[in-house]
Structure 1
Amino acid sequence: MGSGYWEKVLRVDLSTATVTEEVVPVDVWKKYLGGGGYGAKVLYDEVDEQTGALEEGNKLIFAPGPLQAAKQTGAAKFTVAAKSPITGIYGESAAGAGWGMALKSSGFDALIIQGAAAQPSYLVINDNSIEIRDAKKYWGLDAFDSSDQILADAGIDKASICTIGQAGENKVAIACIVVDKHSFAGRCGLGAVMGSKNLKAVLVKGSKKVPVHDQDKLTEINRDIGKTVHENTKDWLRIHGTPFVEIGCDSDGDTPTRNWQQAHWPEGAEKLGCPNYTDELKAKPHSCNSCVIGCHRDIEITEPAEYAMKGPGPEYESLGMLGNNCLMDDVKALSFMNDLCNRYGVDCISMGSFLGFTMDCLEKGYMSPDDIGGRNLQWGDKDNMIALIHDLCNVKPGFGELFVNGIVPAATKLGDKALELAPHVKGLDLPAHDPRAFFSLALNYATGSVGPHHERGNPQVATAGFLLPEAGVDSVVDRFEMENSEFVAAKYQDYGTLTQSVCHCKFMLFGGYSMSVMLESLNAITGWGWSMEDMLQAAERIFTLQRLVNVKYGVDRKDDTLPKVIFEPSVEGSRAGKCPHDFEAALDRYYDLRGWDENGIPKSEKITELGIS
């Protein structure tokens, strides 16, 4: 019998071209699980506050979790972590496809990349065979073409690959990591960290069976929960994917319309959402390994020729940021922009944020077309949007040079009024959900470990009945309730932290995958015999450790805030007159609930209670 862990981590130093295997005992995994928990542990122990995100001293951690031993629906996830170039604090993003399971099956629980190669390189992990290979011929290719060529040249059947495109090579602060041309570790600029290390790709193949405690029990759980999740999602999430929520989000005032200045845009949402999206793009489900949902979209556009493409279609976040945020309602043009971002390897959320912010600044007179290469970008201006995506990813003069380091450096150059308009927390752009529509999002965005993130805590789903009764959220939440928002935000943050550490897809919650099923799965894999209290404490421990990483990097109460616009209520729509009120009092209650002091620093007794060392 096993425990779901190899108790081995692979460390690759690109500066010295050395590879070492390190023993990490099970006691560490019991505390931090894997994924974002282990990533935070490495950053806390090894990367100090003086180290820049794009310097050799930063570490890039690829970490699956125990559930990658399960071959269970939702268990294709893995986490990438590093100090973020866009925020300068803890950075983390998750992806799916097949890479996480492949690394786990190669005999390692995590991969740590440090240093920087002298020339473009890629890494090959083929079970116990580890090689650093020359990538000069692939440098300059987009993420999709380089994936194809590296896989063809490597000569390794059924391998999985993480790559960067030109945005990562050019160290654009919002560059992402592309996985199997299908999934994306999108947020926090981790593709730029990979590019700073001259690392074009990491190719993995694993053929080992991860030893687990009780395979028969695990097989039974996998069978039962697979059926349940499929039945509960097959008529909506499988058919339409995340674009299913576009029209509902617009109705709730939850979309970031017109750079967060407008409450709703029903005529645009109808064109971007379903069923129009599914019909116009011939969208089909695309599953990550072992998943019964298939929420990703495969699409094909043949006409008009200028938008022709075939591949992954935009998710809701891309629709919200490139569409609603920019008042751009052409779903085919948006899909082409999404494809450009995917191939360049850049975060669609931040790209849409930059474009909408630029449109707003131009309209308000906070910048001129000369600031962005002479382009007079207007709302819904798809041609100039496409041109500016090219400019940023290639760091061209104007828009590219202005936004290469993120929205805060760009806005700072433009002046105080532009800086006040920039929709970010801690330097990371807000995703496509509005805290004025769901008040518990306010504290979630303000205090999140990576900045504002819709998947590291999505408390808005509690208003739709997707509850966490095991954690105390056992009844539907009023979306405009501020009184108990600290509790709801904290519990969904812990749940998000847990899923990113055991490495599981949170969308399974929509299909009936409860925390009880997660605990049952974890115990079948590990044999630890944990109670629900043990698992919840592990989640709190990891979230607190991530906060301690950020405290180390200078974060405190002054940073736990929101853009000015979030405190400005709309005069129309379903959230008219609403915005998160008494925010500072709610933040006080949140800190008290967390066991942090009035400045947002975890208290020593809380650190001791959680066993963080």
Structure 2
Amino acid sequence: MAWTGKVLRVNLTTGTCTTEDLRMDWAKSYLGQRGLATKYFVEEVSAKVDPLSPENKLIYATGPLTGTMASTGGRYSVITKGPLTGAIACSNSGGYFGNELKSAGWDMVIMEGKSPKPVYLLIENENAKLMDASDLWGKSVWDTEPAIKTKHQDPLMRVCSIGKAGENQVLYAAIVNDLHRAAGRSGVGAVMGSKNVKAIAVRGTKGVGNISNPKEFMKVTYEKKKILAENAVTGTGLPTYGTQVLMNVINEMGAMPTNNHRDVIFDGAKDISGEKMHEPRKTDGKANLVTNQACFGCTIACGRISKIDETHFTVENKPQYHGASGGLEYEAAWALGSSNGVNDLEALTYVNFLCNEHGIDPISLGATISAVMELYEMGVLTEAQLGCKAPFGSAQALVKLSEDTCNAVGFGVEIGQGSKRLTEKYGQPQLSMSVKGQEFPAYDSRGIQGMGLAYATSNRGACHLRGYTVASEVLGIPVKTDPLVTDGKAGLVKAFQDATAIFDSAGICVFTSFAWTLADVQPQVAAACGDEFDMANLETMGERIWNMERQFNLEAGFTKADDDLPARLKKDAAKVGPAKGLVNGIDKMLPEYYDLRGWDTEGRPTSATLERLGL
């Protein structure tokens, strides 16, 4: 069995760390990581809990394939009730932290209560204790991680931490590991900050044993890595351009949300694209992109390492930003760029550095600033309030507002509450491009219809990683569907959602799904965990996980009304491009989706569905 069989429970109120055996009966029904940790969470925490109260819990979880030789087997997730949405939150990260936690002998860490003073959790294999973090409080992620490594004289230690955003309860604060990988969405970092936890530092030397069938596991993982290497997306596109390979593709489709979703094509897309990151600059002859980088065990290596032009206004006289660090990925480039009409690649890279440094989700940050820019252009917000002129297209405004948000000063405090709360405060709630309070990712659902349904029904609020129909509607994976029609999208969304739940719960990266289907994951899980994990079992398990999350949200007070899109996407037709004249057909797709899910007309799982899934 590929689980360690151990759970670390940390009571922050009393300062104690205790060991528990993993509930293997639950593991066989929910697999690991997202599914298993959510099962623990919903059993232990009321859906009515205040996300920032001591009664909320925070679970860091690995999957059975985390730390193994399965490609991309370095993932971990953070599960809690999200402060941005009030819904179930599960935020996934790569890098090296997940493997280290698993190699130290832990399937998950459950944090409960609240520490009376700032602390960090030190884990050295089976030994765990809380350490004073008073000297680290107020420091950035970039300062915290090296400080902990220096203190313990261990450069191989892996650290996940929060920056100022998490400490200051920015509602979309992230937890950052390895300096620029992040459990980025839904505000998991704010929950960590609310508990006075600055970091977790892990050193694991035990490795991952207990593979059910080692010989078969070696054979099947080798075969599946070949599929990734030979695929055009995972073997060529992502290693070369990262997720930024999508910038020009989505723009040409007329599905690039621009100026807070007022438009669907951004004329400056080519200036902030993956291709542009490769081009030598006129100022110094060097490219924005330095190299690509892989997370633990990854054979794709989509990560970007970038260096900002040292003469650019954002980093003049700021030598701390002159080195190479985590560069733009597509979602950040869109949210900070196209969404705000900004085509300054260096400015976007700088703000992305800020997000990594201070621990903040660039998607929600950029999308909230775009709502601010629209409010400014409407005259609702003024230069005096914002501290700057803030029209769409202003790189200076983007930088100023981002710095203020990261440091929780000026109008940045309000931006840190997210677009839903901000636009409601100023009487224009229709300008928040969000679902359940979480801001949209980088696909306009008038041009990619299935993504509208995926956004509306996502259990953690608007999200592309819960049902990435772009794979089918744009890239033709595993089959090509027409992005401009609603027919068949309910079934497509459900299939992607259920399959993604298994990818997430296994401990592998969802980007493998550009080349793999669930049929490629299943033999790896079976070889690692046991033959009972056949296709039928995994398919049911994915559906079970989705419905469990749904139940939590219903108990938290969400209803059918929350499975919807902003009026702009339902009433304002795309003006140009292939989707010209179209709005999103969510109202047509949603009833069919509910029916396929085995839910009633109000979006509640029927008793027959719950019984079939063992819920």
Query: Structure 2 length as normaliser, TM-score?
Result: 0.94
SS at 2:265 equivalent: coil
Distance 2:291 2:422 in 1: 38
> Is the contact between residue 168 and residue 175 of structure 1 (CA under 8 Å) also seen in structure 2?
yes
CA displacement 1:488-540 (0-9 Å, x = unmatched): 11111112211111121111122x22322200000000113332111110000
Tell me, yes or no, if the aligned pair for 1:65 and 1:502 is still in contact at 8 Å: yes
Greater mean deviation of Cα atoms: 142-151 or 459-468:
459-468
Q: Say yes or no: does 1:435 pair with 2:445.
A: yes
Show the counterpart of 1:471. Answer: none
- Aligned equivalent of 1:293: 300
Letter of the 2:437 counterpart: G
Question: Of residues 41, 54, 57 in structure 2, which corresponds to 1:56?
Answer: 54
Q: Give the one of 495, 510, 518 matched to 1:506.
A: 510
Answer whether contact 1:104 1:210 (CA < 8 A) is retained: no
More divergent stretch after superposition (535-544 vs 250-259): 250-259
Deviation at 1:466, TM superposition (A): 4.8
Equivalent in the alignment of 2:122 = 124
Letter of the 2:250 counterpart:
C
Deviations 1:67-114 (A, max 9, x none): 115222121111111100100110111001111111111112111111
> Residue 223 of structure 1 aligns with which residue?
222
1:4–1:69 contact (8 Å) kept in structure 2: no
The residue number in structure 1 matching 2:318 is none
Cα distance, 1:221 vs structure 2: 1.9
1:101 aligns with 2:99: yes
**3-state DSSP of counterpart to 2:494:** helix
* Runs of 4+ with >6 A deviation: none
Question: What is residue 472 of structure 1 aligned with on the other side?
Answer: none
**Which residue, out of 304, 316, 333, partners 2:330?**
316
- Please state how far the C-alpha of 1:541 moved relative to its aligned partner: 0.2
1:2-41 map, 5 Å: 3-41=1-39
Per the alignment, residue 338 of structure 1 pairs with 352
| Aligned counterparts of 1:294 and 1:576: Cα–Cα separation in 2 | 36
Q: 2:288 matched to which residue of 1?
A: 281
> What is the CA distance between 1:478 and its match in structure 2?
1.0
* Structure 2 residue 478 is matched with structure 1 residue 489: no
In the other structure, the counterpart of 1:210 is 209
Query: 1:200: Cα distance to partner?
Result: 0.7
Deviation at 1:156, TM superposition (A): 3.2
Output the amino acid matched with 1:580: N
Work out the CA distance in 1 between the residues paired with 2:238 and 2:536.
31
2:351 aligned partner, one-letter code: M
Please give the secondary structure, in 2, of the residue aligned with 1:131: strand
CA contact (8 A) 2:365 2:415 kept: no
Letter of the structure 1 residue corresponding to residue 494 of structure 2: A
Q: CA deviation at 1:347?
A: 0.4
1:498 corresponds to which letter in structure 2? I
Counterpart of 2:319 in structure 1 is: none
Deviations 1:258-314 (A, max 9, x none): 110112023x11111132112231331110011111101011124325434420001
The 5-angstrom pairing of residues 6-405 of structure 1 reads: 6-208=4-206, 209-232=208-231, 233-266=234-267, 268-279=268-279, 280-305=287-312, 306-307=314-315, 308-372=322-386, 374-397=387-410, 399-405=411-417
Percentage of identical aligned residues: 31
The question of whether the paired residues in 2 share the 8 Å contact of 1:34 and 1:503 is answered with yes
Distance across 2 between alignment mates of 1:520 and 1:506: 17
**Over aligned residues, Cα RMSD in angstroms?**
1.5
SS at match of 1:500: helix
More displaced, 399-408 or 345-354?
399-408
Q: How does 1:540-555 map to 2 (within 5 A)?
A: 540-555=543-558
Farther off after superposition, 60-69 or 223-232: 223-232
In the alignment, does 2:529 pair up with 1:533?
A: no
Q: 1:281 to 1:535 in 2, by over 3 A?
A: same
Aligned equivalent of 2:600: 597
Question: Which residue number corresponds to residue 589 of structure 2?
Answer: 586
Distance 2:361 2:248 in 1: 23
Deviation at 1:165, TM superposition (A): 0.6
Matches of 1:15 and 1:347, distance apart in 2? 28
Q: How far apart, in 2, do the equivalents of 1:492 and 1:236 lie?
A: 21
In structure 1, stretches of 5+ residues that fail to align are 469-474
Deviations 1:204-234 (A, max 9, x none): 1222233111111111122222233123234
Question: What SS is found at the alignment partner of 1:204?
Answer: strand
